[in-house]
């Protein structure tokens, strides 16, 4: 088979209700493309009938290829595996399986790519039917990340994007195991631009990102792209030193001026103890986040394990990294 011009990578975790509709809308878009296109479906250890739906698609359509993980490794890892697997020589698109990312937008992205951009990321102007809490936390998080991160990670962008083959080659060559793709994508540089879109509600099924997973992703984004939190300990230390000196001066002043010092008793000691204790634990926690990440990298385990590749039980069960 000749190399296709485009690849579309789609991570899938328990999306049985969405796969057929997604495929239907995508084939509509694929017909309008100016080159061949392959679909890379990455089954992230789904526990429903997603894998058999994927197998069926692959049997009827030779443009479909898939990888199935031996267990659930998470969205970012699924996208990573898809990128490792693409054969396109032109551009690669990453999108979700739940149709929150409208496939029709791909045409606009390709237009920008033809204009010479290497990365075209989709930027949300609004989110439909998502909870206030999710909207607010996402809004706040992207702004905090922008303040803290060393690279300019655009606000309100997810993983829905188009990348030139050159960019994907760079991403594939990055050895790190902890992958925050939207950050890495900004880190590589090249000519980048955005297309705006309104984020649709899910076509069917529940969100696969629980609050816990979203929170972990947020921490991961900050720790992977900023060392500012490590400095928090230094700043807190300086602040409490200043408070301590002021208190000392105050006590000396009270003694010299023969006033009774009000700073006595267990209450004060208990409050100070808890305050300093929590500051210390907080700082150790931050250190732990970074050390944990070093530990993960040093262990050098593969990022994912593959149980099946497009109908063939995988001979090589682990990733290349
Ligand atoms: N997903 C995945 N592994 C996971 C969680 C999610 O591959 O552990 C996929 C999921 O099937 C979907 C995409 O990642 O295609 C985004 O997930 P979701 O819609 O739950 O997230 P959100 O829309 O809130 O970003
Ligand atoms: Mg979604």
Task: Return the beta strands (E) in 29-90 as ranges.
Answer: 37-43, 64-69
Q: Is residue 220 part of a domain?
A: no
Name the residue among 38, 68, 4, 74 with its Cα closest to residue 217. 74
**Closest Cα to atom 19, ligand 1: which residue?**
207
Q: Is residue 214 part of a domain?
A: no
pTM, two decimal places: 0.81
Name the residue among 162, 232, 143 with its Cα closest to residue 8. 162
Are 201 and 233 in a shared domain?
Answer: no
Question: How many angstroms is it from 195 CA to the middle of ligand 1?
Answer: 21
Q: Examine the pLDDT at 87 and tell me if it is beyond 70.
A: yes
The string of pLDDT tens digits covering residues 41-78 is: 999 999 999 999 999 999 999 899 999 999 999 999 99
Q: Examine the pLDDT at 108 and tell me if it is beyond 80.
A: yes
What ipTM was predicted for this assembly? Answer: 0.92
Range of the domain at 12: 6-133+151-208+304-310
Q: Which residue has the tokens 């010479």?
A: 116
Are 190 and 126 in a shared domain?
Answer: yes
User: Do residues 224 and 153 make contact, with C-beta atoms less than 8 angstroms apart?
Assistant: no
The CATH number of the domain holding residue 80 is 3.90.550.10
Kindly state if the Cβ of 12 falls inside 6 Å of ligand 1. yes
Are 127 and 13 in a shared domain?
Answer: yes
The string of pLDDT tens digits covering residues 242-296 is: 988 898 888 888 878 877 766 667 877 888 888 888 888 988 989 999 999 999 8
- The total of structural domains in the chain comes to 2
Are 73 and 202 in a shared domain?
Answer: yes
- List all residues 6 or more positions away from 135 whose beta carbon is below 8 Å from its beta carbon: 127
- Report the distance separating Cα 282 and Cα 286, nearest Å: 6
Kindly state if the Cβ of 98 falls inside 6 Å of ligand 1. yes
């Amino acid at each position: 088979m000749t190399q296709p011009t485009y690849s579309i990578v789609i991570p899938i975790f328990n999306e049985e209700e969405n796969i057929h509709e997604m495929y239907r809308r995508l084939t509509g878009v694929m017909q309008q493309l100016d080159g061949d296109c392959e679909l890379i479906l990455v089954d992230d250890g789904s526990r429903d009938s997603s894998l058999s739906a994927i197998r069926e698609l692959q049997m009827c359509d030779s443009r479909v290829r898939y990888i199935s993980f031996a267990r659930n490794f998470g969205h970012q890892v699924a996208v990573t595996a898809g990128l490792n697997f693409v054969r396109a020589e032109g551009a690669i698109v990453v999108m979700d399986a739940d149709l929150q990312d409208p496939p029709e937008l791909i045409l606009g992205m390709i237009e920008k790519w033809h204009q010479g951009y290497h990365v075209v990321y989709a930027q949300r102007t609004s989110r439909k039917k998502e909870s206030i809490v999710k909207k607010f936390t996402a809004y706040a998080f992207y702004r905090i990340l922008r303040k803290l991160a060393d690279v300019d990670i655009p606000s309100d962008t997810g993983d829905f994007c188009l990348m030139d083959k050159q960019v994907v080659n760079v991403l594939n060559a990055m050895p790190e195991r902890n992958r925050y793709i939207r950050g890495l994508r900004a880190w590589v540089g090249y000519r980048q631009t955005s297309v705006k879109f309104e984020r649709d509600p899910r076509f069917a099924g529940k969100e696969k990102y629980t609050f816990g997973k979203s929170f972990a992703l947020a921490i991961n984004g900050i720790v992977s792209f900023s060392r500012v939190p490590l400095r928090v300990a230094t700043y807190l230390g300086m602040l409490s030193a200043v408070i301590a000196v002021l208190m000392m001066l105050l006590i000396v002043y009270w003694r010299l001026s023969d006033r009774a010092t009000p700073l006595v008793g267990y209450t004060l000691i208990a409050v100070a103890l808890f305050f300093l204790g929590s500051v210390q634990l907080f700082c150790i926690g931050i250190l732990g986040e970074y050390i944990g990440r070093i530990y993960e990298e040093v262990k050098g385990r593969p990022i994912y394990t593959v149980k099946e590749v497009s109908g063939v039980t995988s001979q090589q069960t682990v990733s290349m990294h």
